[in-house]
């Protein structure tokens, strides 16, 4: 449009991922408070003398000024970052903590998948994402509990919450032992389809506690119950998304210590939730300092071209 001047506007946002663009620029995927998910170009942020490059790292909660049409009616779909101020840069707190970093990566990927349409406001999802990253940074609860609570509440916002207190098919109230992902949650004996899972009653109680925010019940559960809950939550989410989340198989499912406690010995369960195949080409996804490798397209929703950098690496395809 001849003579069109790009509009300046401000918003606060969470940085979901970054991609290389050219020699010194980046494309930043943001989940904003008032304008939903959008992408913006940050010019020169990969230069060593960049004024605000460090504030545009993944998982940061920032206040920024953008140039472009917030409604997308004019000009390019890519906005331009003109000013950034950090509110809470959570990413720097996760760099030396693999369980928390991978959980934050799964949260960021889920937030992007739950906002398929750009510039569609999603205030509650934005608040939920900020709250989850804040909870991870504080370390008051086990990392897997925070992640599963985020996934369950995110599915509730999208209308995909699993039925836990009544049969998902006929609506019969009560605690039902069978759980079917295709049916939508817990099912009674009359409606139970072939292949339904039979989780422990404590697992269903944990899912309910995470959905409602009952952390007293959630923190008291043991590792086996948490692992079973994580498997059901991941399967339910990916069924409705109709695609796998590539960051979930890399999440460390070992018990992580809360703030002020001694870390327990033992290994992790990074490969526990692998619904389709193995990590395979996504192995470089969380490789600190590495390139995108063969997993370059794994977090490219809607065919985002850019430079093909992946979306959840530690330096976001640096």
Distance, CA of 205 to CA of 177 (rounded, Å): 11
Strand, helix or coil for residue 66: strand
Cα distances (angstroms) measured from residue 290 to each of 99, 103, 286, 317: 18, 19, 8, 7
DSSP assignments along 122-163, one per residue = -HHHHHHHHHHHHHHHHT-S-HHHHHHHHHHHHHHHHT-PPB
Structure tokens at 159: 């209308």
By C-alpha distance, which of 13, 22, 123, 15 is closest to 63? Answer: 13
- In the predicted model, is pLDDT for residue 208 greater than 70? yes
Strand, helix or coil for residue 31: strand
Strand, helix or coil for residue 101: helix
Distance, CA of 42 to CA of 317 (rounded, Å): 14
Per residue in 82-97, pLDDT tens? 888 989 999 888 888 8
Give the H/E segment covering residue 216.
helix 215-219
Confidence of residue 217 (pLDDT cuts 50, 70, 90): very high
> Can you state the percent helix, strand and coil of the chain, rounding each to 5?
35, 20, 50
- Asked which of 75-89, 127-141, 180-194, 231-245 is least confident by mean pLDDT, the reply is 75-89
- In the predicted model, is pLDDT for residue 224 greater than 90? yes
Q: What pLDDT is stored for residue 1 in this prediction?
A: 44
Question: pLDDT higher for 293 or 115?
Answer: 115
- Asked which of 38-52, 101-115, 146-160, 303-317 is least confident by mean pLDDT, the reply is 303-317
Most confident residue range from 36-45, 65-74, 233-242: 233-242
Confidence of residue 297 (pLDDT cuts 50, 70, 90): very low
Angle at 238 between CA 233 and CA 239, to 5 degrees: 100
- Asked which of 163-172, 193-202, 245-254 is least confident by mean pLDDT, the reply is 245-254
- Asked which of 60-74, 210-224, 296-310 is least confident by mean pLDDT, the reply is 296-310
Strand, helix or coil for residue 179: strand
Question: pLDDT higher for 51 or 55?
Answer: 55
Distance, CA of 209 to CA of 186 (rounded, Å): 15
Sorted by sequence, the CB contacts under 8 Å of residue 204 that are 6+ apart come out as 164, 175, 179, 186
Question: pLDDT higher for 286 or 151?
Answer: 151
Residue indicated by tokens 């969470």: 14
Strand, helix or coil for residue 84: strand
């Amino acid at each position: 449009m001849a003579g069109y001047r790009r509009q300046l506007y401000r918003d606060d946002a969470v940085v979901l991922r970054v991609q290389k663009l050219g020699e010194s620029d980046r494309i930043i995927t943001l989940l904003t408070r008032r304008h939903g998910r959008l992408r913006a170009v940050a010019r020169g942020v990969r230069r060593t003398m960049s004024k605000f490059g460090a504030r545009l790292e993944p998982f940061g909660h920032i206040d920024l000024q953008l140039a472009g049409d917030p409604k997308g009616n004019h000009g390019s779909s890519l906005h331009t970052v003109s000013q950034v101020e950090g509110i809470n840069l959570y990413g720097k707190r996760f760099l030396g903590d693999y369980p928390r970093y991978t959980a934050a990566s799964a949260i960021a990927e889920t937030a992007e998948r739950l906002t398929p349409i750009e510039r569609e406001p999603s205030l509650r999802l934005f608040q939920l994402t900020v709250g989850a990253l804040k909870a991870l940074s504080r370390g008051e609860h086990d990392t897997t509990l925070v992640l599963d609570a985020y996934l369950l509440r995110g599915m509730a916002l999208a209308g995909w919450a699993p039925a836990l207190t009544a049969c998902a098919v006929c609506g019969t109230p009560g605690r039902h032992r069978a759980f079917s992902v295709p049916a939508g949650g817990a099912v009674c004996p009359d409606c139970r389809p072939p292949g339904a899972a039979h989780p422990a009653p404590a697992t269903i109680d944990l899912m309910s506690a995470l959905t409602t925010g009952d952390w007293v019940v959630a923190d008291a559960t043991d590792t086996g119950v948490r692992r079973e809950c994580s498997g059901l939550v991941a399967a339910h989410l990916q069924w409705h998304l109709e695609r796998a989340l590539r960051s979930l198989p890399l999440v460390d499912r070992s018990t992580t210590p809360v703030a002020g406690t001694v870390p327990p010995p033992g290994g992790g369960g990074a490969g526990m939730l692998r619904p389709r195949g193995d990590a395979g080409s996504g192995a470089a996804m969380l490789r600190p300092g590495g390139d995108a490798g063969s997993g370059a397209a794994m977090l490219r929703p809607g065919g985002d071209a850019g430079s093909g950098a992946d979306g959840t690496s530690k330096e976001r395809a640096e």
